Amino acid sequence: MKITANQVTLLRIVLVPVILVLMFLTSVWMPFAWIAFFVYVFAAFTDTWDGILARKTNTVTTIGKFLDPISDKIFVNVILIGLIFLRVFERNGAVLTYVNIACISVMLAREFIIAVIRQIAADRRVIIAADWFGKAKTLVSLISFGGFILGLFRIDGIKEWEIASDVFHYIGLSLFYVATGFSLFSGINYYVKNKSVIFAPEPVPEVGTKEIKSLVGEVFALCGQKSAMVSVAESLTGGLISAFLVEREGASKCLYEGVVTYSNESKRSRLGVKNETLKEFGAVSAEVAAQMAEGLYREKRSAVTLSTTGIAGPGGGSEDKPVGLTYIGVHDGKTTQTYRFVFEGDREAVRRRTTEEGLRLLKQALENL
């Protein structure tokens, strides 16, 4: 039977309550501390084992990427909470107890803050890798907790075991303070490196392919009902509207023509856009969008023609014509309508939003025939 990386990760989670039970049972039988330690060491080793196994067998899965960091958090933080309940941090007198409480607060607060930052980043499709301080904190914490677990083995009255217990405990405590320092520096480093992600404007919801394809279906249905065809002249969208129309079976019964007129010269030569209009209003204007739609209609092979022109970004914008400014022209043989939009998002988002609105306007024009 082959063991998968995900199974090893799940094993780490399963071993956490086993370790806790063994730790608490030391009050009944001291050797349980050693058993707890060896199970703890094995569980810690699985964190390396699952990664090696996933890479070696080329089985890095989505659920594995989700489970691995979750299992690490469960492992470290639940063991920490167990040590708190066993009053390990109250063993050194009142002053150090308060210091230990402060350190515990720093470590738990850091975990919460990092989790929030990573969630914000994930919502914005940014992956934040663990930094050096974070990795060092995890490693030192694991060794520290191992020392605390061995320190639970204490037989009062036998000096050698009392000394051994104290040695293990103070090794664990010293490393715990080091881990706290790494936690603090890691939290600060995460914030400084990723504050641009944290305070970035809310991402613009992406127009999904499903929504666009749904609009294409409605346009096709109307073409059939009205026995009409459409043509599209695209500048900003660069053929994206035509591509979605052609993707559907039976496109030849709905789409008569799709042209990409990206340069001013192609707008003039192919669609008859006047040079004076381009000079006076610019390529991104309602006037040019109107002439593009009208120019495409001249052959009278389509019932409705549509045009797109705009600034997709990331450069090319100005105060008067910002990135995202888009004009869509629609001509139905009688009238020409132009529509102005300012879409937010990156270049791809602007083009997809324009595609969505263009299809919506095609649908509207066909309904009004």
pLDDT tens for 89-141 read: 888 777 788 999 999 999 888 888 888 887 887 776 676 766 788 888 888 99
Are residues 238 and 149 part of one domain? no
Q: Are 109 and 192 part of one and the same domain?
A: yes
User: For the whole model, what pTM was predicted?
Assistant: 0.58
Residue with tokens 């009208």: 294
Provide the β-strand partners of residue 308: 234, 328
Q: Residue 175: its pLDDT value, please?
A: 95
Phi, psi of 340, deg, nearest 5: -105, 135
Is residue 244 situated within a structural domain?
yes
In a domain, 106, yes or no: yes
Are 93 and 232 in the same domain?
no
Q: Is the pLDDT of residue 346 over 80?
A: yes
Q: Evaluate if residue 39 carries a pLDDT over 60.
A: yes
Whether residue 204 lies inside any domain: the answer is no
Same domain for 163 and 288: no
Q: Within this chain, do residues 56 and 176 fall inside the same structural domain, yes or no?
A: yes
Task: Examine residue 77 and state whether it is found in any structural domain, yes or no.
Answer: yes
Query: Rg of the Cα trace of the chain?
Result: 33
Question: Residue 32 belongs to a domain with what CATH number?
Answer: 1.20.120
**Residue 120 shares a structural domain with residue 220:** no
Q: pLDDT for 248-295, tens place per residue?
A: 999 999 999 999 999 999 999 999 999 999 999 999 999 999 999 999
Sort strands 336-342 and 325-331 into parallel, antiparallel or unpaired: antiparallel
**What pLDDT, on the 0 to 100 scale, is given for residue 56?**
83
Task: Pick the closest to residue 162 from 86, 175, 170 (CA basis).
Answer: 170
Residue that is last in its domain, among 198, 232, 260: 198
**330 lies in some domain:** yes
Residue with tokens 């990723």: 194
Is the distance from CB of 358 to CB of 328 less than 8 angstroms? yes
Determine the pLDDT at residue 123.
73
Instruction: Establish if 124 belongs to a structural domain.
Output: yes
Both 242 and 153 in one domain: the answer is no
| Reported confidence tier of residue 205, pLDDT bands at 50, 70, 90 | low
Domain that holds residue 274: 209-367
Query: Around Cβ 63, how many Cβ atoms within 10 Å?
Result: 9
Question: Which CATH number is 319's domain given?
Answer: 3.90.950.20
Please give the distance of CA 6 from its chain centroid, rounded to a whole number: 22
Choice between 124 and 58, residue whose per-residue pLDDT is larger: 58
User: Are 154 and 277 found together in one domain?
Assistant: no
What are the residues whose beta carbons fall under 8 Å from the beta carbon of 349, sequence distance 6 or more? 204, 206, 207, 343
How many domains does the chain contain in total?
A: 2
Quick check: is 49 in a domain? yes
187 and 150 fall within a common domain:
yes
239-270: burial string, b at 16+ Cβ within 10 Å, e else: ebbbebbeeeeebeebbbebbbbeebeebbeb
